[in-house]
Amino acid sequence: MRGRHKIFLGMAAGVGKTVRALGEIRDLRANGVDAIIGLLETHNRKDTVAAAQDLPMFPRLELPYKGTTLTELDVAGILERRPEWVMVDELAHSNAPTSKHPKRYLDVEELLEHGLNVISTLNIQHLESLNDEVARLTSVRVRERLPDKVVLEADEVVIVDISPEELRERLEAGKIYAPEKIEQSLSSFFTSENLAVLRELALRRTADVVEEELFSEALGHGVKERIVVAVRAERHDARLIRRGARVVQRLKGDLLVVHVKNRSYQPKEFEILGELEGLAREFAASWTVLDGTDTASSLVAFLQAEHATQVILGESHRPRWKEIVSGSVVLEILRRSSGIDVYIIADD
């Protein structure tokens, strides 16, 4: 039987997710439950170190890499030890190159599949579907990301919330980063404006999870929304897939990503399509490549065949004179897709 997964979710580093998770381990042990720390990132924070005092911590797995030694979660060792609950900090972490899994959330998935219960921590900006929105609102592009399904499939998500002012006070007091990093952090990622945005995203995401559960129960076996995202061989069209994923998560529908190949491609374009397909798979979307010289006609036929209810398109990059001469794909789809909601997403 699959284990249970409880995630402590916050808006940024320093809100207290790890301390709350450690408190949960301590409470479980006080009630006679075999609960241990599988992996803890203290970042030398005194509150975190104090919260972990006297709690059993499983040794990290040592991995040689380029003349040094890196340490990661020892999945095999924990599976052999088989505690009832295990805490794994910083779910979005990228593992050492020589690890079995490239990301820590995949380590956790293996533990869950083997029946172990896991408590983990995560910051909201690491969700894949929010990457573009976080970058737009905070001017920070987050590199370490994980699929939204990790949160959606969790058995429990607990929001750890404090005000932006209190978090900045913690930072100024040296409770989050070393002294040499405080001023830079206060003026960059930890501005009051950025923290307010991230806090809203965290609260909204948790509310969405609850709303999705209630909506699913109320809907029963009703008709599902089918959202189609049409992408070009352009890297920034990843934002269209992320937008579609957020819509699907809200409506509990199906996500279909489609590309129309209407000419010969350069190797770089095939590489980009591979990246877009990988992102689509992360969101459990279908991926279809159509061959057709008439992009609009191919897309309209696909929408009709798949009984699409919504389609998401990127803003056209073509000069106005070219659209007048040879027609606009967007306008053709708007004209010929009766009964389907069409969303045109502007470029950043």
Amino acid at 68: T
With H, G, I as helix, E, B as strand and everything else as coil, classify residue 286.
strand
- In this predicted model, what pLDDT tens digit does every residue of 90-125 receive, in sequence order? 999 999 999 999 999 999 999 999 999 999 999 999
The half-sphere exposure of 219 on its side-chain side, counting CA atoms within 13 A, is 15
CA torsion angle 46 47 53 58 (round to 10): -90
Confidence at residue 323, expressed as pLDDT on a 0 to 100 scale: 43
Q: Considering only CA atoms, which of 92, 90, 89 is closest in space to residue 128?
A: 92
Tens of pLDDT along 187-234? 888 888 888 888 888 887 666 655 555 555 544 545 578 999 999 999
52/130 same-domain check: yes
The residue from 188, 215, 242 where one domain ends is 215
In angstroms, the Cα distances linking 308 to 223, 311, 324, 328 are 12, 7, 28, 21
Say if residue 35's pLDDT is above 90: yes
pLDDT tens-place string over residues 273-326: 999 999 999 999 999 999 888 888 899 999 988 989 999 998 876 554 344 434
If one counts the domains in the chain, the total is 2
Question: What percent of the chain is modeled with pLDDT above 70?
Answer: 91
- The pLDDT of residue 327 is above 50: no
* Residue-wise pLDDT tens digits, 47-56: 999 999 999 9
**CATH number (domain holding residue 36):** 3.40.50.300
Give every strand in the sheet of 5-10, ordered side by side: 35-39, 85-88, 117-123, 5-10, 156-159
Do 65 and 184 share a structural domain?
yes
d(CA 128, CA 200): 17
Q: What is the pLDDT of residue 192?
A: 87
Q: Which of 215, 246, 267 is the last residue of a domain?
A: 215
Shared domain check, 227 and 206? no
pLDDT digits (tens, 9 = 90+) for 66-80: 889 999 999 999 999
* Cα–Cα dist 194/200, whole Å: 10
Residues 228 and 206 in one domain: no
Whether 200 and 301 share a structural domain: no
Residues 27 and 170 reside in one and the same domain: yes
Same domain as 158, residue 232: no
**CA dist., res. 253 & res. 246, Å (int):** 10
Distance CA(47)–CA(65), nearest Å, equals 31
**Higher pLDDT, residue 141 or 40:** 40
Which domain range does residue 281 map to? 223-345
CA atoms within 13 A on the CB side of 210: 9
Q: CB-based contacts of 94: which residues, under 8 Å, 6+ apart?
A: 102, 103, 104, 144
Query: Does the pLDDT value for residue 145 go beyond 70?
Result: yes
Which residue, among 170, 204, 197, has the nearest Cα to 15 in the 3D structure? Answer: 170
The pLDDT of residue 222 is: 54
Task: Give the residue-averaged pLDDT of 3-27.
Answer: 94
Same domain, 274 and 162: no
User: Would the pTM of this model clear 0.75, i.e. be above it?
Assistant: no
Residues 183 and 317 in one domain: no
Mean pLDDT of 27-38: 97
Tokens of 1: 């039987």
Same domain (yes/no): 235, 185 = no
Mean pLDDT (whole number) for 241-249: 90
The pLDDT, as a whole number, for residue 210 is 53
Please tell me the predicted confidence (pLDDT) of residue 216: 52
Domain boundary among 195, 215, 235: 215
